Amino acid sequence: IANITSQKSQIEADRSSLNSLSSSGQIALYNSRVSGFNSEVNQYNSLVAQTQSLITSYNQLISQRNDVASAFDSLTNELNSNLTSIPGQ
C-alpha cells in the first residue's frame, strides 16, 4: 500500500509539472515528458490491479476458512452432544 501511495503522490506531482509546462507554453518539454508520465501511470494502474486481485484472493480464502471453521464447530457440537459417560468411569 505504501508503494501505491508514493506512486500516486509522484504521479500527482508530475501531472502538476506537466500542466505548468503546458500552460507556460513549453510544449516541446511537455511533449518530451508525456511518454514517461504515461509509463508511470501504466505502472501504477498495474500495481493497483495486482493489489485488487490479491485482495479478492484473500477475501475468498477468508470465506473458505470461515466455512471450514463453521463445519468444525458443528462437528464438535455434534460429537459433544453424543457423548455419554461410561458407568464406573
Q: What mean pLDDT is predicted for residues 60-84?
A: 90
pTM of the model: 0.71
Residue 85: per-residue pLDDT: 64
Phi, psi of 26, rounded to the nearest 5 degrees: -90, 65
With residue 83 as reference, give the H or E element that holds it: none
pLDDT of 43 > 90? The answer is yes
Q: What mean pLDDT is predicted for residues 57-84?
A: 91
Give the list of residues 6+ apart from residue 52 with CB closer than 8 angstroms, or none.
none
